[in-house]
Amino acid sequence: MRLALNLLATMLLFACSDPDPGAFEVEVLDGTAQGAVLTLYNVSTDMRKSDNGFVGERVTPTDGSGEILVNMRDGSLINCSIGYVTHGLSYQMKYRIEGGRCEMTQMFEDVNGSL
């Protein structure tokens, strides 16, 4: 009985914990970007510079959509649409900017919270 109660408590703890953050990556092929902002659920966060672009993470507290705005050195902005994400799922989304356009190159979602 005690083992069953411990298992139940552990399961409830994991069920109530925050989901893993979604991972977002933008690869900029020509290297002319100077910054990127991830906006999800109307909250914006600066993305970190990586070797070939930008990376960022966000927890999905609710269902919604968003975008990544990439600021190019010539002053133009390129929009990478995130589309719809679902609360509780972990995401890994990768985008590529080439020729002034952004395209999604990869998307994984995991209902178990591990990619």
CATH number of the domain at 97, please: 2.60.40.2630
Say if 11 falls within a structural domain: no
Say if 47 falls within a structural domain: yes
**How many domains does the structure of the chain reveal?**
1
Say if 59 falls within a structural domain: yes
Print the domain residue range for 102. 19-110
Say if 3 falls within a structural domain: no
Say if 87 falls within a structural domain: yes
20 in helix, strand or coil?
A: coil
Cα atoms in the 13 Å half-sphere on the side-chain side of 107: 8
Burial of 17 from C-beta contacts in 10 A (0-12 / 13-18 / 19+): exposed
Say if 5 falls within a structural domain: no
Say what the pLDDT of residue 15 is: 42
The strand pair at 43-46 and 77-85 is best described as unpaired
pLDDT tens readout for residues 76-90: 999 999 988 888 777
Say what the pLDDT of residue 42 is: 87
Give the global pTM: 0.76
Q: What average pLDDT is seen over the chain? A: 80
